[in-house]
Chains A and B, each alone.
Chain A
Amino acid sequence: MPPVLSVKDLSVSMNGTKGMVPVLEHLSFDVAQGKTMALVGESGCGKSMTALAIMQLLPEDFRVTSGSILLDGVEVLSASPKELRSLRGNKMSMIFQEPMTALNPLYTVGNQIGEVLRQRRGLSRRDAHAQAIQFLKAVQIPAADKRVDAYPHQLSGGMRQRVMIAMALACKPKLLIADEPTTALDVTVQAQIFDLLSELQDDTDTAIVLITHDLGAVAELADDVAVLYAGRCIEQGAADEIIAHARHPYTRGLMACVPHLQLGRAIDHLAAALDEIPGMVPPLGARGPDCAFLPRCAFASEICRAQPQPPLDRINAGAAVSCWRHQEIAPGAMA
């Protein structure tokens, strides 16, 4: 069965004052029905640009310079505005990072969910309202028949994100893009939202592109992972494989930045300093052909400085990595 979403060699550039500046370079990935693909990386790595490129909602000044995005067999990049409108909502939809600002403050939530249904499904006002209550129940909002008439400012952040999810899934899209859906929420609610997403995915068989920097969520939800750094994919593969055997120094750095708390461990382990990755993502336009992570990499050597960043090198069926020294510094070899 062909994948729901197939991104091939996608590059995005920003048309700045100094000409075209690459933002995203040669990204490829597939997402199959009912599977979750996680895009991981620091801020400014091109995760959100990937999402916006798929939705064709890139801000002005940003252009897709090469590649192809096939959604359910349709080329998104060459779709007419009319085709795009019918793809959005029907075939693909998106959950935004900030539930506080992603709902229109002037309409009740039922009105906003119903609007999608009335436009897309041609439902009557009353049917759309009834359906909206069903959707609110599906995203586990208590007292859904009352909340359907609430305005966004009357709901908590977690509730609003549930409403966003209900809106996004209202037309049963094949692909759901979740752009850091829990970043603005507190930790207990984050877990609920992730649980909800995976339950809904089991019910509807939606393909999900999850954009996150929460590696816990990746381990829990994702089937595949692509780690982005400075607009380049530096490690890609099956989620459990990458989590268990991260090869790229950046991926390993990211993992070391997350506290691993385990019951029964000695307390001095907890006191051990949490690692950080020194330095910052190089700004747009300051990215040369050599490995973008080079200035921050603890393993950088002459091999790395002498040649441009290597292409993704397939290591086994489950993983590919872009690093000159991945064999030397692989987890096994380190011991």
Chain B
Amino acid sequence: MTTIKSTAVKPDTTMLPARAATSPIAAALRQFARSPAGVAGAVVLILIILATLLGPHLYGVDPLDIAGAPLTPPDADAWLGTDYLGRDILSGLLQGGRATLAVGGVAALITIVIGVTMGSLAGFFGGPIDTALVKVTEFFQILPPLLFAMVLVTLFGQSLVVVTLAIGVVSWPSAARLTRAEFLRLRNLDFVKASRAAGGGNGHLILRVVLPNALPPIIVSATLAIGVAILFEGGLSFLGLGDPNTMSWGLMLGQNRNYVLDAWWTVTFPGAAIFIAVLAISLIGDGINDAINPRLRKRG
């Protein structure tokens, strides 16, 4: 018996150093670095963020000041032209990006926090708790999100905070359903049962055992939620429901929409900025999806 033991384990020992220290997160990051689309998206998004953080200081024109004649085409003074009030478009893009990205990020965070809380409680406990929470989720889901957000903004005022909260409040149901589905799949797996058999309480099981294993699709959907929230903010602003005192890409679109045919530059540049930012975020989401999807990882 002893001889069998020692021979049986030897090959494993020699292989150990090479395979050690591959945490799932490190492996996912390495895999993400191999996805060209994901890396491209990350580079573009980082450039956009840097531009919005540093650009206003370098360019030095206040986005709300009158910089020239209204609707001046792009020239040497205003590189991207001016809008219907004579405000500098490039300055607006650089400054407005901050608000747009912040609204996207915070609204996505709200979406995920509400969605994951509802979904994990429903999926983990099942039974009457599940039924009740699913009913609440469905209630929010059947309301048309744009109309619902418009109602919220109209009721509580056109400020950036209200817009952000409104976007978060109307978009969490899909995150809740995704989380619930993952919890339903995971909660009966052996390692969850084993944790319970070792005396783990519900809080421990939800936060430390099930949730980390449910995270991959949630991370992907959180990334994509940022893009959706940016589009949402653009849509609300376009309809005139954005915060008129804070420059954002959506606001630029909304305020200049009457001059589309006369001054293409007033809407083309903010529109392109939204398009590129959302595209970059989608590419990152795809890259993360590839990196943490085990079926694809084995192929790579």
Cβ of B176 to closest chain A Cβ, rounded Å:
21
A94, A106, A150, A188: which contacts B8 (Cβ < 8 A)? A188
Contact string against B for A residues 93-104, beta-carbon threshold 8 Å, 1 for contact and 0 otherwise: 110111001111
- Are B198 and A88 closer than 8 Å at their CB atoms? yes
The residue of chain A having its C-beta at the shortest distance from the C-beta of B19 within the complex is: A154
A149 with B20, Cβ < 8 A, contacts A98-B190, A142-B9, A188-B8 known: yes
Contact string against B for A residues 177-207, beta-carbon threshold 8 Å, 1 for contact and 0 otherwise: 0000000000011011001000000000000
With A and B bound together, what is the CA distance between A57 and B21 in angstroms?
A: 34
A59, A116, A149: which contacts B198 (Cβ < 8 A)? A116
Query: A residues within 8 A CB of B200?
Result: 85, 119
A88 with B21, Cβ < 8 A, contacts A189-B8, A195-B1 known: no
Query: A residues within 8 A CB of B22?
Result: 151, 154
Cβ of B279 to closest chain A Cβ, rounded Å:
31
Interface size on A, residues (CB 8 A): 47
A34 contacts B by Cβ under 8 Å: no
A291 contacts B by Cβ under 8 Å: no
CB within 8 Å of B: which residues of A? 55, 57, 59-60, 85-90, 93-94, 96-98, 101-106, 115-116, 119-120, 140, 142-143, 146-147, 149-151, 154, 156, 158-159, 164, 167-168, 170-171, 188-189, 191-192, 195
The residue of chain A having its C-beta at the shortest distance from the C-beta of B6 within the complex is: A142
With A and B bound together, what is the CA distance between A195 and B204 in angstroms?
A: 33
Given A88-B196, A96-B190, A154-B22, 17 extra CB contacts under 8 A: A55-B197, A59-B188, A85-B200, A93-B198, A94-B194, A94-B197, A96-B193, A101-B189, A102-B191, A106-B212, A116-B199, A142-B9, A142-B12, A151-B22, A167-B194, A188-B8, A191-B4
With A and B bound together, what is the CA distance between A296 and B115 in angstroms?
A: 54
The residue of chain A having its C-beta at the shortest distance from the C-beta of B189 within the complex is: A101
Cβ of B85 to closest chain A Cβ, rounded Å:
54
Query: B residues within 8 A CB of A171?
Result: 199
Query: A residues within 8 A CB of B196?
Result: 57, 88
CB within 8 Å of A: which residues of B? 1, 4-5, 8-9, 12-13, 16-17, 19-24, 126-127, 188-191, 193-201, 204, 208-209, 212-213
Query: Which of B190, B204, B213 counts the most chain A CB atoms within 10 A?
Result: B190
The 7 lowest CB-CB distance pairs between A and B, nearest first, are: A89-B199, A102-B190, A88-B199, A101-B190, A94-B197, A89-B198, A104-B191
Query: B residues within 8 A CB of A120?
Result: 199
With A and B bound together, what is the CA distance between A107 and B60 in angstroms?
A: 50
Selected A-B contacts with CB under 8 Å, 5 pairs: A57-B196, A104-B213, A105-B213, A119-B199, A188-B8
Query: A residues within 8 A CB of B1?
Result: 191-192, 195
With A and B bound together, what is the CA distance between A251 and B12 in angstroms?
A: 40
Query: B residues within 8 A CB of A85?
Result: 199-201
- Are A60 and B126 closer than 8 Å at their CB atoms? yes
Query: A residues within 8 A CB of B197?
Result: 55, 57, 88-89, 93-94
- Are B191 and A103 closer than 8 Å at their CB atoms? yes
With A and B bound together, what is the CA distance between A93 and B200 in angstroms?
A: 12
Query: A residues within 8 A CB of B194?
Result: 94, 96, 102-103, 164, 167
Cβ of A69 to closest chain B Cβ, rounded Å:
15
The residue of chain B having its C-beta at the shortest distance from the C-beta of A168 within the complex is: B198
The residue of chain A having its C-beta at the shortest distance from the C-beta of B213 within the complex is: A106
- Are A143 and B5 closer than 8 Å at their CB atoms? no
- Are A104 and B24 closer than 8 Å at their CB atoms? no
Query: A residues within 8 A CB of B5?
Result: 140, 192
Query: A residues within 8 A CB of B212?
Result: 104, 106
Query: A residues within 8 A CB of B12?
Result: 142, 156, 159
The residue of chain A having its C-beta at the shortest distance from the C-beta of B126 within the complex is: A60
A150 with B20, Cβ < 8 A, contacts A103-B191, A191-B1 known: yes
With A and B bound together, what is the CA distance between A239 and B194 in angstroms?
A: 29
With A and B bound together, what is the CA distance between A158 and B209 in angstroms?
A: 23
With A and B bound together, what is the CA distance between A120 and B13 in angstroms?
A: 31
Query: Which of A59, A60, A106 counts the most chain B CB atoms within 10 A?
Result: A106
Cβ of A116 to closest chain B Cβ, rounded Å:
5
With A and B bound together, what is the CA distance between A102 and B192 in angstroms?
A: 8
The residue of chain A having its C-beta at the shortest distance from the C-beta of B198 within the complex is: A89
B4, B127, B201: which contacts A192 (Cβ < 8 A)? B4
With A and B bound together, what is the CA distance between A101 and B213 in angstroms?
A: 13
The residue of chain A having its C-beta at the shortest distance from the C-beta of B1 within the complex is: A195
